[in-house]
Amino acid sequence: MFLRQITNPNGRVRLVIVRGFRDAQGKNRQKVALTCGFLDDLKKTYDDPVAHFTEVAAQMTRDHKELHDPVTITFKPDETLEKISPDDAHVKNIGYAALSKLYHELEIDYFINNRRRYTKAQYNHNAVFKLLVFDRILFPSSKRGAWAHKNRFFDTMDFTLEDIYKALDLFADHSAELLLAIHKRIRTLHKRSTTLVYYDVTNYYFEIDRETALLKKGVCKEHRPDPIVQMGLFMDERGLPITFNMYAGNTQDCRTLIPSLLEVNYEYGLKDIIIVADRGMITSDNLARIILQRNGYVMSTSVRKGDASLKQFVLDENGYTCIRNDTGEVVFKYKSRMVPRTIEPHTLTGKAGTPVTINQRQIVLYSAKYAAKARRDRQKALEKALEFIDDPNKHTRSTSKGASKYVQQVFFDAQGNELPAAKKHLAFDFDKLAAEEQFDGYYVIATNVIGLEEGEKPFSGKSRFTNEGWFQLNRKVSDMDVVEMYRGLWKIEETFKITKSTLKTRPVFLRTETHIRAHFLICFVSLVLIRLLEYRTKGKHSAQRIAHSLASANGIYLDQGYYHFFYYDEVLHDIGKALGIDFSKKYLKLGQIRSLLAATKKTS
């Protein structure tokens, strides 16, 4: 780099710093690296502009050499691989820079540092929390495993394993506050919309036999006999988690909605919302609470468990809008109606309350694929029923579950005469099968959400809830709009899969309730970060791919402060582009790495 003075036609002198280089053909070329300004203007700022910018050019040359000139690396030819393990200080991960960027954007560091100042601890709670969150995403393991992995990160992790377990108490104590703070930051940074709110419940099992007030044996999603804990999760329409609550493992799914809903309504200020949930949540008590809080709901309901009026409406072919394939076969159809529904809620003490009639919009849908799935799912039960009839000793009460309903005991012949005891026998119940088959492929979405008709004025009340019990949106809401609202539930189901597979939230080995609550807080924050990465990369990559790529972005120490990074892919490219982080560098000096990580900690 050198300073060059260029005289313009009007006589003014301009100073520029020029970089000399050879092109692909080996010819000498020059390129302007920095335009300094006109000499007469620069004299107003610098005593000797030429001398000043000559030194600037020299410094730029030195910086360029440090970054681009070849470096001689020394190594020991007899060094063996046994001396370097994944947790050795020589091997470092750079992928967590993306997580650090989001972590500091959400100001989680500010929150924890604010709370830790009131403790007498000598260790850094924020460093502990970062380790547990980053490790949960990249190298999911136990708390002991996370501590063993701490050398994989460039950040200072100056604490003991005992410090980690002590820090869990502070995290649990401030869990509710942190969840609310994260929600507010997402609302500010990403304009979170909470008109649509999805809710679902899952459970996680523990590798212990002892039950506690929180750990109870219940209906485990993995069909395990271990104690479990229930988690109710709220999510927005973009798939970003809002908050979660924990319940004893023997709590019925439907009984978690009301207390969770109370929290988001009052603590989070989420009012005028539409709650979308599956059929397990559509109880009279839940509907009563939703309507009492003047919210909307979109929930599925079973046709087979519906009343005679609903079944008749479903089977009546009039009014359906049909979508056919090339051969003319109906692959999808739907229709809707507005009907009154009587709900019978219970008081807080469990006593039957006063029945209330509400308005409800029912959308009936039929899917040929759903019908085919229902037939496939039923096939095993039919085979068991036939086996049981052929040999009643072949199956026990437990192994014939789901099949026994298709078996009937025959006491009378075709003419209605009672058979003698010796001729009484088991037979397949074809009427039962026919009654079920007629509803294959059908399901109903129930809602109180309506939209404006053409020329209709918006409801003038303080909320979107009308006096007739409808939740009114200030736009037209078609049947398929409601269906799309309901279909968004797949995102929350996928979210639970992420927690159980990618983040390996279970099995849980912790024993005290405080530590368990801290564990799920850490898993939730990890889930928020990975979902944000999905959102920031416009859904191009799955959470599993993102976690894999970030965990693979490792480097090994060479010599003279240099690290050699040996993994880069499309996922890292897209994350880097979205967050302003360059993961493509093959060689980085420790100072450059620290500068890169320092940049991720700036929130402005």
Q: Which is more confident, 317 or 208? A: 317
- Cβ atoms of 17 and 2 closer than 8 Å: yes
Q: How large is the average pLDDT for residues 87-96? A: 79
Confidence (pLDDT) at 411: 65
* pTM, full prediction: 0.80
Confidence (pLDDT) at 396: 64
Confidence (pLDDT) at 84: 52
Question: Tens of pLDDT along 448-478?
Answer: 999 887 777 777 677 888 888 889 888 889 9
Spatial distance between the Cα atoms of 474 and 454, rounded to a whole number of angstroms: 11
Give percent of the chain with pLDDT exceeding 70: 90
- Cβ atoms of 157 and 131 closer than 8 Å: yes
The token pair at 324 is 């056919």
* Nearest by Cα to 101 from 580, 424, 570: 580
* Nearest by Cα to 585 from 221, 134, 95, 236: 95
Question: Tens of pLDDT along 392-441?
Answer: 776 665 556 677 788 877 766 666 666 666 666 777 888 888 888 899 99
Question: Tens of pLDDT along 112-142?
Answer: 999 988 888 889 999 999 999 999 999 998 8
Spatial distance between the Cα atoms of 2 and 47, rounded to a whole number of angstroms: 20
- Cβ atoms of 532 and 240 closer than 8 Å: yes
Peptide bond into 507 cis (omega under 30): yes
Q: Which is more confident, 447 or 467? A: 447
- Cβ atoms of 471 and 295 closer than 8 Å: yes
Confidence (pLDDT) at 156: 87
Average pLDDT, the chain: 86
Question: Tens of pLDDT along 499-551?
Answer: 888 888 877 777 788 988 999 999 999 999 999 999 999 999 999 999 999 99
In terms of Cβ atoms closer than 10 Å to its own Cβ (0-12, 13-18, 19+), residue 509 is: middle
Residues present in the chain in total: 604
3-class state of residue 438 by DSSP: coil
Question: Tens of pLDDT along 374-390?
Answer: 999 888 888 888 887 77
Confidence (pLDDT) at 525: 96
Neighbours of 377 (CB within 10 A): 11
Assess whether pLDDT exceeds 60 at residue 555.
yes
Q: What are phi and psi of 225, to 5 degrees?
A: -85, 0
CA-angle at 405, arms to 400 and 410, nearest 5°: 105
3-class state of residue 358 by DSSP: strand
Residue 551 pairs in a beta bridge with none
Q: How large is the average pLDDT for residues 347-359? A: 78
Confidence (pLDDT) at 435: 87
Query: Within the chain, what is the greatest distance between any pair of CA atoms?
Result: 125
> Band of the pLDDT at 568, cuts 50, 70, 90?
very high
3-class state of residue 399 by DSSP: coil
Question: Tens of pLDDT along 54-65?
Answer: 988 888 887 776
Question: Tens of pLDDT along 246-304?
Answer: 998 888 888 888 888 888 888 888 888 999 998 888 788 888 888 888 899 999 988 88
Confidence (pLDDT) at 420: 66
The token pair at 328 is 């003319």
Question: Rounded to whole angstroms, what are the CA distances from 7 to 54, 131, 220?
Answer: 17, 58, 81
